[in-house]
Amino acid sequence: MASPKNNKNKNTRPVAAKASSKAIDRKLIIRLSLFLFIISFLLYVNTLHHNYVLDDAAVIKENTLTKGGIHSIPKILSSCYREGYVNNDHGIYRPLTKVMFAIEWQIAPNKPFLGHLMNVIFYSLTCVFLFMVLLRFIKINVYILFFAALLFAVHPIHTEVVANIKSRDEIMSAFFLLISLLAIHKYIINRKILLLISSLISFFLALLSKESAIMYVAIVPLVIYYFAETSVKENLKVTALTAVTAIAYLCLHLKVMGAIGIPNIHPTDNSLLMATNFFQQKATAVYILGKYLLLLFFPHPLSSDYSFSTIPIVTSAGNAGFLLAFLIHISLLIYAIMKFKQKQFLSFCILFYLVSISIASNMFMIIGTNMAERLLFFPSIAFSLAIAYFVGKLAKLDFKILYPKMNIILKANKLVMLVFGVILILFSMKTIARNKVWQNGVLLYETDLKTVPNSTHLLLFHADNLTLKDSLIGLSDEARKMRFATAQKEIDKLLNIYEMMPDAHNVAGRIWYEYKNYDSAYKEYSRALYLNSGTASYHNNVATCYFSTGKFREAAKEFKQSTQLNPNDADVFCNLGSAYGEIGQGFLRNKVSDSALIYLHLAIDNFTIATQKKPDYKSAFQFLGLTYNSIGDTINGQKYLNVANQLK
């Protein structure tokens, strides 16, 4: 008599497609979804009154296109993400999120509350949609899926995504991808072509939110293969149409941007470019993958930036961090491949994670940053699902009972549930505490510099924020001096780390200008201009040094160059008008009337442009009135002085 064979695959696939025929407990799902939404919202409610911070300036607060409101939408749809800001990154195309920002600015200009509110609402909805997707595809105990969604919701790694308005691109990308998956599930069941079209439209909207959503082309067949009861042919059909949608997006991207990818990435943005050879670059990328995994398990400390020189370049194959990260990822990949045919649950989680982080990993292409916590937003779904699976196994929950009574959960292994509960509480506390740091730029950069003291970006951002005109309003002379002293110390440190950083020289020039050391200010501004001659603000700053030392012709030349590079900056047109005005006044003093009138009319033209671009520009109206008086037109002179007096 033959002995029975041992089933080695027992309990390796908790995707109980035929597990339980019990009807869907809709009331339970609604209660859990509502709880998930409320928890997600409450965790981030303390961000609602935060200011604009970090990249919010480039995309929202200081972006002339965004500030154009709904009238800018056609231009937004046909331009790069940061068009309208001083430094454009011509390789990024994310029109959908920028359109949202423009509409919000139209409704509430210069009021970040609405932007923060929308981030929190869409984040909470994303957490709920994640739960819905898991319920549709994975037929196991509803509480295990709820644990996964709850862990995702409270994970502190998401604080950057929600607290930084600009990171709406990450939220909306995930939001639309999850909606696409829901539509695919319904299509597989009902075979209605409109559902398939809906899924493709949602995917396209995700791509318009952020380009990295393109990895969804590989996510779709994985999800269908592991969890959908459909044929290989149907899987290939859905995947092929998804790929066609991605190609259509790439064609649009290419038409608008002229190229795929970000050209001229600066080494301070992505320190992998500091590597001297291919091995060093990819070994460092693997090391960073290890850091990502560590942050998922232990999200402390967190930082808004990991730029040069935060993460050292791996120069040897014997580097412990590289070796550990390499062995872990290779082991996970081997395990996932070995269990692929069995459709084992953890193998899906591993492959989902590796695919979703692939673009951000810098392994296949160099992106605009070497490491950022926001890039873990979508990949953390796989992590949350894997942890929930282990919690369910260790707590000895019955995976096959889809909608168990609550008392079954309460009878689970109490120690395991207690530990998981404590982790959720600790993660929630960390999230709330981390949110507070994102209140404003100075607080964020001061805090994060304690974690990454050699970050060139944070040193620059902190020094820049300390010396910005808006941040100095209301400060005493002593407090002002302390700020500039701190800023100078940090800029000096930055330039010792990496001297060829034009923005750092620009801030250094601002500090010297504050000290009225115009020669040193000119030297720093000129160095910034030498390193990047295409930046309008650098020409403007060099011109201010000329202007302050009475070199008005030289100042006018640089101010004019600045207006040509950035024709939307009202301040520079006003500055150019002032330079022409001073030249004209010089001719008047020397009684050269014809030349004086030429330059004074040029001054009037530029002051007028400034008022057109900024209708509440009090100084421009004042200068306009005074200049008209200088040429003897007292009627217009008084007219514009009256306008200026009526403005705050």
DSSP 358-389: TGGGTSSS--S-S--GGGGTTTHHHHHHHHHH
pLDDT of residue 90: 66
pLDDT of residue 89: 62
Cβ contacts of residue 221 below 8 Å, gap of 6+? 235, 236, 238, 239
Cβ contacts of residue 22 below 8 Å, gap of 6+? 401, 402, 403
What is the pLDDT confidence band of residue 87, given thresholds at 50, 70 and 90?
low
Biggest alpha carbon distance in the chain?
123
Phi, psi dihedral angles at 85 (to 5 degrees): -115, 160
Alpha helices in 397-476 (DSSP H): 406-410, 414-437, 441-451, 456-467, 469-472
DSSP secondary structure code for residue 26 in this structure = H
Alpha carbon distance 221, 13 (integer Å): 18
pLDDT surpasses 80 at 567: yes
Alpha carbon distance 324, 286 (integer Å): 9
What is the pLDDT confidence band of residue 88, given thresholds at 50, 70 and 90?
low
pLDDT surpasses 60 at 6: no
Please state, for a pLDDT cut of 70, what percent of the chain lies above it: 96
Alpha carbon distance 498, 535 (integer Å): 19
pLDDT surpasses 70 at 23: no
DSSP secondary structure code for residue 551 in this structure = -
Average pLDDT over residues 556-584: 95
**3-state secondary structure at position 205:** helix
pLDDT surpasses 50 at 3: no
Report the C-alpha dihedral over residues 439, 440, 446, 447, rounded to 10 degrees: 20
pLDDT surpasses 70 at 492: yes
Phi-psi map region of 110: left, alpha, beta (phi>0 left; psi -120 to 50 alpha): left
pLDDT of residue 479: 92
The CA distances from residue 552 to 312, 576, 599, 620, in Å, are 47, 10, 11, 18
pLDDT of residue 7: 42
Cβ contacts of residue 426 below 8 Å, gap of 6+? none
pLDDT surpasses 90 at 601: yes
Give one DSSP letter per residue of 511-541, joined into a string.
Answer: HHHHTT-HHHHHHHHHHHHHH-TT-HHHHHH
Name the token pair of 385: 């699902």
Average pLDDT over residues 501-512: 96
Alpha carbon distance 125, 164 (integer Å): 17
Please state, for a pLDDT cut of 90, what percent of the chain lies above it: 85
pLDDT of residue 188: 95
DSSP secondary structure code for residue 208 in this structure = H
Average confidence score pLDDT of the chain? 93
Burial status of residue 95 (CB atoms within 10 A of its CB: 0-12, 13-18, 19 or more): buried
Cβ contacts of residue 33 below 8 Å, gap of 6+? 128, 131, 132
301 prior amide bond cis, ω within 30:
yes
pLDDT surpasses 90 at 542: yes
pLDDT of residue 534: 86
Closest residue by Cα to residue 345 from 290, 382, 305, 391: 382
**3-state secondary structure at position 85:** strand
Name the token pair of 459: 């040193």
pLDDT surpasses 90 at 530: yes
pLDDT of residue 541: 96
Name the token pair of 38: 């409320």
Alpha carbon distance 1, 82 (integer Å): 75
Contacts 24+ apart (CB under 8 A), 453-456: 454/309, 454/310, 454/497, 455/303, 455/305, 455/306, 455/307, 455/308, 455/309, 455/310, 456/268, 456/307, 456/308, 456/309, 456/494, 456/497, 456/498, 456/501, 456/504
Q: Which of 122-136, 255-269, 425-439, 485-499 has the lowest mean pLDDT?
A: 255-269
DSSP secondary structure code for residue 57 in this structure = I
pLDDT digit string, tens, across residues 320-348: 999 999 999 999 999 999 999 999 999 99
pLDDT of residue 375: 97
pLDDT surpasses 60 at 221: yes
pLDDT surpasses 50 at 19: no
pLDDT of residue 426: 98
Residue 402: half-sphere exposure toward Cβ, Cα within 13 Å:
20
Alpha carbon distance 167, 304 (integer Å): 12
Alpha carbon distance 184, 228 (integer Å): 10
600, 630 contact by CB (below 8 A): yes
Burial status of residue 34 (CB atoms within 10 A of its CB: 0-12, 13-18, 19 or more): exposed
Start-to-end CA distance of the chain, whole Å, equals: 99
Alpha carbon distance 644, 648 (integer Å): 8
Cβ contacts of residue 557 below 8 Å, gap of 6+? 543
Average pLDDT over residues 606-631: 95
The CA distances from residue 287 to 259, 280, 378, in Å, are 30, 10, 20
What is the pLDDT confidence band of residue 15, given thresholds at 50, 70 and 90?
very low
Cβ contacts of residue 155 below 8 Å, gap of 6+? 296, 299, 380, 384, 427, 431
pLDDT digit string, tens, across residues 279-329: 999 999 999 999 999 999 999 999 999 999 999 999 999 999 999 999 999
pLDDT of residue 21: 39
Q: Which fold has domain 441-646?
A: 1.25.40
559, 543 contact by CB (below 8 A): yes
Q: Which of 12-26, 33-47, 220-234, 513-527 has the lowest mean pLDDT?
A: 12-26
Average pLDDT over residues 167-177: 98
Name the token pair of 96: 């959908």
Residue 326: half-sphere exposure toward Cβ, Cα within 13 Å:
13
Size (the chain), residues? 648
Average pLDDT over residues 483-492: 96
**3-state secondary structure at position 455:** coil
pLDDT of residue 12: 46
pLDDT of residue 25: 86
Alpha carbon distance 330, 160 (integer Å): 29
pLDDT surpasses 60 at 588: yes
- How large is the C-alpha radius of gyration of the chain? 29
Query: Residue-wise over 63-76: b if at least 16 C-beta within 10 A, else e?
Result: bbbbbbbeebbeeb
pLDDT digit string, tens, across residues 352-383: 999 999 999 999 999 999 999 999 999 999 99
Average pLDDT over residues 223-234: 95
Residue 552: half-sphere exposure toward Cβ, Cα within 13 Å:
16
Amino acid type, 189: I
Extents of the domains making up the chain: 26-49+111-260+271-432, 441-646
pLDDT of residue 20: 39
The CA distances from residue 274 to 265, 269, 496, in Å, are 11, 10, 16
603, 626 contact by CB (below 8 A): no
pLDDT surpasses 60 at 14: no
